[in-house]
């Protein structure tokens, strides 16, 4: 079964850091781009970051540039999101979502994880 499973969420103080993980199974991980998407409580979906299948290309939403870093370990089939300088506005469920296969620059998100909750509060 094709699956993505996030972990690493929790409660963190403002200004703190957190690293999220997304473990993939059931498909050739390195052949697909992966994205992070977040959803604040009661709000809509917000794209956060993208990484290509090789890890050679990354993109970020302006509101996380310089604070968040996306990376992947294709030998372990794991995606990461390192989040620094967190603020209350970063409180959300964070989803990883599979993007297009290698060779296609941009595409829809066909597989989603169940999400991990990040709460930034003192």
Residue ranges binding other proteins (CB under 8 A):
35, 37, 44-47, 50, 59-62, 95, 97, 106-110, 112-115
Q: Single out the residue of 9, 22, 88 nearest to residue 49, CA to CA.
A: 22
**DSSP assigned state of 106:** S
> Given the complex with other proteins, which of 27 and 47 has the nearer CB atom?
47
- From the centroid of its chain, how far is CA 72? 10
- For the CB of residue 28, give the shortest distance to other proteins in the complex, in Å: 17
- For the CB of residue 107, give the shortest distance to other proteins in the complex, in Å: 6
- For the CB of residue 88, give the shortest distance to other proteins in the complex, in Å: 21
> Given the complex with other proteins, which of 61 and 78 has the nearer CB atom?
61
Cα-trace Rg, the chain: 14
CB atoms within 10 A of CB 95: 22
């Amino acid at each position: 079964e094709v699956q993505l499973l996030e972990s690493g969420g929790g409660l963190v103080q403002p200004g703190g850091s957190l690293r999220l993980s997304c473990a993939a199974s059931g498909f050739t991980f390195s052949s697909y781009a992966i994205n992070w998407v977040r959803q604040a409580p009661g709000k809509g979906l917000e794209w956060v970051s993208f990484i290509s299948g090789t890890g050679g290309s990354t993109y970020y939403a302006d509101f996380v540039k310089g604070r968040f870093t996306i990376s992947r370990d294709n030998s372990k089939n794991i995606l990461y999101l390192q989040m620094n300088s967190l603020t209350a506005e970063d409180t959300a469920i964070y989803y990883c979502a599979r993007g297009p296969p290698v060779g296609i620059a941009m595409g829809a998100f066909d597989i989603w994880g169940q999400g991990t909750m990040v709460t930034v509060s003192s």
